[in-house]
Amino acid sequence: MKALAALRNALPLLALPFLGLLPVPPALAATAERTTTVDLAAEASRPAANDLARATVFAEASGATPGELGRRVNGLVADGLRIARSYGNVRVQSGATHTQPMYGKGNRIEGWRMRSDLTLESTDPAALSELLGKLQASLGVASLNMLPAAETRRRAETEATIAALAAFRERAKVIADALGKPFRIRHLTVNSSGRPPVMPLMRSPAMAADAAPPMPLEAGESLVSTTVSGQIELLE
């Protein structure tokens, strides 16, 4: 009796593999064949104010030994940090440090070169410009760019995304109306992009002991774009 009961319980499970062999009803097959899908994309852009200034300054020196270079470069960086920290509205952070050999005849090491970077950021471009003018007395300027602060970029990205989604739906409606059919959205992909204008610089330290004039900065705007791509299904 126990064996008979176990067999009865197993019968539904044994039948499962054969369900896939059952023929598809003609009505369902016809509906699948009549399904029409359309791939499309839409894009929208919004301006974002470049309200964050970012610069990279560096100390660089060459010498006979790495120890000698370290003392010189570290001293220059320490002076730069001291000056930068006097500006409460400028964030300063230590960057990369590189030491590399300089080769001469016979592939022999004849000296060493060392470079150390500092990164500066501020939402007050005038303050950063003034600071850079002072730092150029002993440090070089590797790069300077204006870009949107994180919150500014998020606002522009949100606006661009809403506009791109509306544009996608409007375009889908145009296609569906032209074919005389209703539609539904099957899936969507949303991507945002945007690059700030970069002003690359490679300015060596000023020869004079006095600070250089403030560096001119023009904030301008960056364009933040959102692309929405996806697929719609035309309904019967």
Sorted by where each starts, the structural domains of the chain and their CATH numbers stand as 53-147+198-209 (3.30.70.2970)
For residues 37 and 232, is the Cβ–Cβ distance under 8 A?
A: yes
Which one, of 38, 47, 117, lies nearest residue 80 by Cα?
117
Closest among 113, 126, 124, 128 to 57, alpha carbons compared: 128
Is the pTM value of this prediction over 0.95? no
Q: What is the mean pLDDT of residues 208-234?
A: 80
Report helix angle 66-85 to 125-135, nearest 10. 140
DSSP 84-140: HHT-TT-EEEEEEEEEEEEE-GGG-EEEEEEEEEEEEEES-HHHHHHHHHHHTTT-E
For the stretch 131-161, pLDDT in tens is 999 999 999 999 999 999 999 999 999 999 9
Residue 216 to residue 126: CA distance in whole angstroms: 8
Q: Which residues fall within 8 angstroms of residue 220, CB to CB, at 6 or more apart?
A: 50, 146, 197
Report in angstroms the alpha-carbon separations of 186 from 24, 37, 42. 23, 9, 15
- Supply the DSSP symbol for 219: -
Q: Specify the 3-state DSSP secondary structure of 207.
A: coil
Q: What is the pLDDT of residue 161?
A: 97
Tokens of 89: 């509205």
* Torsional sign, CA 208, 203, 59, 216: positive
* Band of pLDDT at residue 105, cut at 50, 70 and 90: confident
Give which of 73, 139, 61 is closest to 102, Cα–Cα: 61
What is the sign, positive or negative, of the torsion defined by CA atoms of 213, 218, 224, 225?
Answer: negative
Strand partners, 112: 63, 101
Alpha-carbon gap, residue 225 to 228, rounded angstroms: 10
Determine phi and psi for 58, rounding to 5 degrees. Answer: -145, 155
Tens digits of per-residue pLDDT, 32-82?
556 899 999 999 999 999 999 999 999 999 988 888 899 999 999 999 999
Asked if pLDDT for residue 212 goes beyond 70, the answer is: no
* Sequence-separated (6 or more) residues with CB below 8 Å from residue 84: 90, 92, 118, 120, 131, 135
